[in-house]
Amino acid sequence: MSGRRVLVLNGPNLGRLGSREPDVYGATSYAGLVEECTALGAELGFAVEVRETNDEGELIRWLHEAADGSVPVVINPGAFTHYSYAMRDAAAQRTAPLIEVHISNPYAREEFRHTSVIAAVASGTVAGFGIGSYRLALRALAEQLA
């Protein structure tokens, strides 16, 4: 793996892509997401590492790792998006671009999903384009880092 290191971080339930509510999250499996992100990342000159956890503390530790190493991040915090102030505080420590992504459009869903505590400290947010949200975020990172 060569190129600029980029972390693609995924929060709770994203490891269940492909089987979890395919009408909302699509048919692409988590393995398919990993493959798409690493392939596009290589095209863009990135060494992409995709991670997934259901543990809030682990995701926060990964954000600290990224901040300490000035590593750009694409993050889908999952449900943590809406209420994890600890994750927001970790994201606020970023030392490189951080792009929030969502597979679905949170504003077209339940009202509790309309609030993101992460958005205010992110470089930007991409939502509603299915797995394509990750592709758009990686392309946006490439532009920001150019």
What tokens appear for 62 in the block? 């990964």
Segment 90-119 shows an average pLDDT of 86
Segment 43-68 shows an average pLDDT of 97
Catalytic annotation present for 85: no
Is 104 assigned a ligand-binding role in the annotation?
yes
pLDDT at 21 over 70: no
Catalytic annotation present for 102: yes
Is 82 assigned a ligand-binding role in the annotation?
yes
Fold of 4-145: Rossmann fold (3.40.50)
Is 99 assigned a ligand-binding role in the annotation?
no
Is 76 assigned a ligand-binding role in the annotation?
yes
pLDDT at 1 over 80: no
Residue 4 has phi, psi (to 5 degrees) of: -70, 130
**Predicted model pTM:** 0.89
Catalytic residue, candidates 83, 85, 102, 114: 102
